Amino acid sequence: MAIKISNDQEFATDLKNNENVVVKYYADWCGSCKLFSPKYKRLSEDERFKHISFLDINAEQCPEARQIAGVDTLPFFAIFKNGELVGKISTTKEGSFIDLISQL
């Protein structure tokens, strides 16, 4: 599934319209965020996770979406089920990220 770039104006709708959502919070200056991006893209296309919607949110430009997940460092990942936050992690390790999204 393609990764959707979301923002504060669209975030609530994105959560409402998708049962399972994973969000990657990033910043343009974040080197670790850039390094994780190819993994995030590959996993968004993985057959195991076809039931999950993948979103990208620029944490610096979207304070409301950042606050909902309690983002305190980058890269930061949050998972939502039926619009509710059910898990979050700050990591650059693919295995830890897979453990998180496997909860959905």
pLDDT at 39: 97
CATH class of residue range 4-101: alpha beta
35 pLDDT above the threshold of 80: yes
Residue 66's alpha-carbon distances to 18, 29, 33, in angstroms, are: 19, 16, 15
> From CA 63, how far away is CA 93, in angstroms rounded?
25
Give percent above pLDDT 70 in the chain: 100
Q: What is the value of pTM for the model shown?
A: 0.95
**Catalytic positions, written as ranges:** 30, 33
What is the rounded average pLDDT of the residues 40-53? Answer: 97
Q: How many CA atoms lie within 13 A of 70 on its CB side?
A: 8
29 pLDDT above the threshold of 80: yes
17 pLDDT above the threshold of 90: yes
Long-range interactions of 66-72: CB distance < 8 A, separation 24+: 66/25, 68/11, 69/23, 69/25, 71/25
pLDDT band at 1 (very low <50, low <70, confident <90, very high): confident
- The domain ranges of the chain are 4-101
